[in-house]
Structure 1
Amino acid sequence: MTRWLKNVGYLSLKELRSLFSDPILLVLIAYMFSAALYIISNMPTTELKNAMVAVVDHDRSTLSYHLRDSLLPPQFKSVTEVDPKNVERDMDTGQYTFVLEIPANYERDVLKGENPHIQLSIDATAMTQSSIGSAYIANIFSRELAIFTGKTQVESPINPVIRVLYNPNFSNKWFMGTMQLVGNLNLLILLLVGSAVIRERERGTIEHLLVMPVSASEIAVAKIIANGGVLLAVVVASLTFMVREALGVPILFSQYPIFILGTIVFIFSIASLGILLAIIAPTMPQFGLLCIPTYIVMYMLSGSNSPVENMPELAQQITQFSPTTVFSSYVRDVLFRNAGIDIVWEQLLKMVVMGTVFLTIALIQFKSMLSRQG
C-alpha cells in the first residue's frame, strides 16, 4: 500500500508539471471560472428589472400614493410624476415603459364599492418587458387594493401564505452563477482527465509507463488527483470571488466544507467517466466528438436549466444515473437551502457508487488498452 501511494504521488507530480506547462490550458481554466461565469450569469433574462414607470395622478389621495409606492426596486425604478401633455412624447422617446393615469376621485369611488379603472399605457416595442411588467403591476395593485379596503382576494377556504426564504427577489443570476459553476466543472474535468490519457498515448509516453513498475490504478488515480485538485482549488476560488462577491450571492462560509466534500466526490465520479471515454476513443479528435455530446446530454438533463420534473418520464429515470444530476441537486440543497450532511448523504453515496463503477470499467479497459499499445 505504501508503494502504491508513493507511485501515485510521483505520477501526480508528473501530471501537475504537464498541466502547468500548458499556459493556454491554464488561461482557459481561469476564464471558464471567472469571466465566462460572470458573463453568462448576467446575460439578458426575461425577468422584469428596472422598468421605468411614470404616473399622472389626478386623485392625489392616500390610496393613489400607496399604489405608487408599491412599485419597488429591483423590478421597477422610482415612479416619476409627469405632466399629461408630455406623456406621448416621453413614451415615443423611450423614456418610460409604463405610464399610469389615476383618475380623479379614485379613492372615493373605491371606498364606495365602485370599480374605477386606472389607465396603463405601455411601450409595446419592449415586448417581453411590457408583457411581464403589465402582469406584475396588475397583481401588485390587486394585492394593495385588497389590503387597503380590507377585502380578501382569495375566496377559497385555503389561504396559501408563500414565504421565500432564499432569493426573495427571484434574481436569475443567483441561480445561474452556481449552476454555471457545476456545468463548467463538469466540462473541464471531463476534458482535462480524458485528454491527459489521450496525450500519453499520442506523445508516446505510454511506452514509458509500460516498462515502469506501476499499475493501471496508480496511473488513473494520479490523473484524477492532479487534475481534480487543481480544479477543486479553482472552483472554491470562483465560488468565493465570483459567485459570492461579484454576483452577490449570499453564501455562508459554514456551507463551504459540505460543498467542498460534494465537489471532491463529483470530481472523482466525472473524472472516472472521462478516463473511460478516453480509453474508448483512440485519438484526441474522436475523444472530443465523444466527450462534448456526453457533456451536453448530462448537463441539459441535470435540472440545472429546467426542472427534471418537467422532462418526459423516461428522461427523468435515465438522468438519475448521471453524476451531474445528483450534484446539481446536491449544490441546490447545500447552497440554497443550507442542508446538512444528514440530508445530502444519500447524494454523496450515489456519486461515489457511480464513480466507482466508471473507474472499475475504465481500469479493466485500461489494462487491455496498455496491452494493445504494447
Structure 2
Amino acid sequence: MKLANILNLGIKELRGLARDPALLLLIVYAFTLNIYTAATAAPESLNKAAISIVDEDRSPLSARIVDAFYPPHFLTPKLIDPSVMDQRMNAGLDTFVLDIPPNFQRDLLAGKAPSIQLNVDATRMTQAFSGGRYIQEIVSGEIDAFVDRGERLAPAPVQLSLRARFNPELSQAWFGAINEVISTVTMLSIILTGAALIREREHGTIEHLLVMPVTPTEIMLGKVWSMGLVVLLATMYSLFVVVQGALDVPLQGSMVLFLLGAALQLVAATCMGIFLATVAGSMPQFGLLLMLVLLPLQILSGGMTPRESMPDVIQWIMSAAPNTHFVIMAQAVLFRNAGLDVVWPQILALAAIAAVFFVLSLRRFRAFLR
C-alpha cells in the first residue's frame, strides 16, 4: 500500500466532487440553511403567538390580565370588539382570542365562579397545544394575585428551586442547531462516498482503476479520507459561522476533542456509504437503502429523544451503531464541556466500530471489484 496512491486517488475524488454541482449544492445547503432552519423554524416552546382579547368587563382585574401577555411568548395583545372575534379567527389573524365576560371581577369577588372563554385556532397545532396551558397559568396566576391582594400565604413546607444548566434560557435553537450538525455529519458522509462509488460505476471509470497498479485498499482509503475531509471542513464552518456566529449559540467544550470524535465517526460513516453503494445497483436503489439506514440511525441514536426512554432491546441494538456513541460524545463536549476523562468510552467505541466497519466494507468492496 502506497501513500502516494492514496493521496492521488483522494485528490481524484475531490476533483470529481467539484464537477458535481448537485452534491456541492447539497453540502452547502446541509451545513448552512438546513442548520439555521432546524434551529429557528419550528421552536418547541411558544414563541410570538398572536393573541387578541375581548375585554367586556373593563375592570382593574381584566386590565391586569391584558397586561400579563407580552413577548416573547405572545405578541402584544390586541383589544378587539366581540363582533369581529369570529371574523379574525376565520381570517387566521389570531391564534388565541380571550373573551373576558361582563361583570367578571364583581362575580369573582362575590364568591361566584365566572368563566373566561378561550378560542383557539387548532390548525396551528404546535402553538395550540402549548399555548392553552400557558394562558391558563397566566390567567390563574393573575386572578390569584388579585384575590389575595398582596396577603402573604403560609409558605409551603418544601420549595423547589429550579436551575437550568447548559441552556439557561431553555432555547430550542441551542439544542436544535448542534444536533442538526451531528445528524448532518453522518448523512453527508454516507451520501458522498456512496455517490462517488456509484458515479464511477455508471461512468465506467471503475474499470480504469482496476487495470492501474492500485489496490482495493488504496482505492477505498482514497474515498474515505477525501470525502471525510470535505465533511469535516464543512462541519467546522457550520459550527463557527452558522451555529456560533449567525445563531449565537455558545460552544462549551474542546473543539479538538469534538473533531477527533467526528473524524472517527466519519471513518465509520464513509465505510457504511461504500458498503451500501456496493449493494445498490444504481443511484435510486442507493437512495432507498439510505432511507432504510438513516432513519433508524437518526431516530434511535439519542439525538431526538434520550436513549433512556427507549426499550432496553433498542438500546442494546443501537449500541453497535456509531451514531449512538457520536451523539453521546458530541453532546457531552459541546453542551456540557466534557473532557477526555468523561468521553473516552465513546471515543474507544467509535474507534472500534470504525475499524470493524472498515474491515467489513473492504471485504465487500473487494468482492465488488472482482
For 1:93, the aligned partner's letter is R
Give 1:75 deviation, angstroms: 1.0
TM normalised by structure 1 equals 0.80
- Report how many residues are paired: 358
Give 1:225 deviation, angstroms: 1.0
For 1:349, the aligned partner's letter is L
Matched, 1:39 2:37: yes
> Which residue is 1:225 aligned to?
225
205 and 334 in structure 1: CA distance in 2 versus 1, 3 angstrom threshold: same
Matched, 1:124 2:123: no
> Which residue is 1:342 aligned to?
341
69 and 170 in structure 1: CA distance in 2 versus 1, 3 angstrom threshold: farther
Give 1:193 deviation, angstroms: 0.9
> Which residue is 1:318 aligned to?
317
Which deviations, in whole Å up to 9, do the C-alpha atoms of 1:261-313 show, x marking residues without a partner?
22222111111221222233344443333222111221121222333333333
73 and 350 in structure 1: CA distance in 2 versus 1, 3 angstrom threshold: farther
Structure 2: which 5+ residue stretches go unaligned?
none
Q: 2-side partners of 1:87 and 1:262: how far apart? A: 60
Structure 1: which 5+ residue stretches go unaligned?
none
> Which residue is 1:181 aligned to?
181
Q: 1-side partners of 2:158 and 2:138: how far apart? A: 21
Give 1:23 deviation, angstroms: 1.9
**1:269/1:323 contact within 8 Å kept:** yes
For 1:205, the aligned partner's letter is T
Alignment counterpart, residue 24 of structure 1, candidates 22, 25, 30? 22
Identity %: 33
Give 1:189 deviation, angstroms: 1.0
Q: 2-side partners of 1:271 and 1:115: how far apart? A: 70
TM normalised by structure 2 equals 0.81
Moved more, 41-50 or 337-346: 41-50
Which deviations, in whole Å up to 9, do the C-alpha atoms of 1:25-65 show, x marking residues without a partner?
2112112222333334444456322132547475537x974
> Which residue is 1:93 aligned to?
88
Alignment counterpart, residue 9 of structure 1, candidates 7, 10, 15? 7
For 2:17, the aligned partner's letter is L
Equivalent residues in 2 for 1:70-149 (5 A)?
A: 70-79=68-77, 82=79, 86-90=81-85, 92-94=87-89, 97-99=96-98, 101=100, 119-126=115-122, 128=125, 129-140=127-138, 145=144, 149=151
Q: 2-side partners of 1:76 and 1:117: how far apart? A: 27
**1:255/1:338 contact within 8 Å kept:** yes
Q: 1-side partners of 2:154 and 2:213: how far apart? A: 78
SS in 1 for 2:196: helix
Which deviations, in whole Å up to 9, do the C-alpha atoms of 1:152-193 show, x marking residues without a partner?
78x6x5533221224445443433322222233222211111
Moved more, 128-137 or 39-48: 39-48
For 2:317, the aligned partner's letter is I
Q: 2-side partners of 1:130 and 1:24: how far apart? A: 39
Give 1:143 deviation, angstroms: 5.7
15 and 115 in structure 1: CA distance in 2 versus 1, 3 angstrom threshold: farther
Q: 1-side partners of 2:173 and 2:318: how far apart? A: 25
Cα RMSD (Å)? 3.5
For 2:192, the aligned partner's letter is L
Q: 2-side partners of 1:151 and 1:317: how far apart? A: 51
**1:38/1:242 contact within 8 Å kept:** yes
Which deviations, in whole Å up to 9, do the C-alpha atoms of 1:348-372 show, x marking residues without a partner?
22111111100011222333333x2
**1:276/1:359 contact within 8 Å kept:** no
